[in-house]
Each structure stands twice: as structure tokens, then as C-alpha cells.
Amino acid sequence: MYKAKFAKYNGNIPFLDFLKSISINEKAEVLAAIDKFLELKNSNNKIPIKLSKYLVDGIFEIRVKHQNKISRSLYFYEKDKVIVFTNGFTKKTEKVPLSEIKKAIKIKKYQEE
């Protein structure tokens, strides 16, 4: 069974900081998307590219469309089917900012130490 957890980094949990920064409705949509993703993974169903896709260096994203913007939740896989969420952000454009990917990679490396 796949399980999700939120990465700790320098005494903080960046993904929870992201969740605190968005509205209650957006937070519910993000958490529902994570639940759906886990459900699909655990039932061995194909993950739609509109929901999740590979970015770079072992970092993936889950996308959630809100009314006029998209939030992205970045994650990686650990051993024993653990999915670790590193950080998230909301934006209005399609491309993922390099700074957010670098942040996720830095958190991933920190987790591996």
C-alpha cells in the first residue's frame, strides 16, 4: 500500500506551509487530489497525466485546477511505497518555476541524508 507523508526540512514542513497559504476550498481540492492519486496507485490503475507527471531528478507533480489558477504539489518516492510531498505552490501559468523544482530536489536530498 502506498502512503503519503510530508517532508521535514530545516525544522519546518514546507508542504504544510503551502496548505496554510491557500483557501479552505483550495486546500480541500489539493487533499482530495492526493487521496485520489493514492487510491489510483493502490489499485494499480494508470495515473492520468492531467493529475500527475514526472518532472526531473525523481521529482513529480500533482496538479489541481482551481477556478482561475493551478496548484502544484511536488513529491518523490521513498522506499516501501512512501510518497513524500516536499512543497507546493499556486500559479497561473503552465510552466513549473525552476526555483520550485530546485527546492523540491534540495528537500529530497535532505530526506536521503
Q: What is the pLDDT of residues 49-58, one digit of tens each?
A: 999 999 999 9
Q: Would you report the helix, strand and coil content of the chain in percent, each value rounded to 5?
A: 35, 35, 30
Where the chain has pLDDT below 50, the residues are: none
Which pLDDT score is estimated for 74? 98
Instruction: Give the pLDDT of residue 29.
Output: 97
CATH code of the region 3-112 = 3.30.2310.20
H/E run at residue 65: strand 59-65
Which residue ranges make up each domain of the chain? Answer: 3-112
69 within 8 A of 92, measured Cβ to Cβ: yes
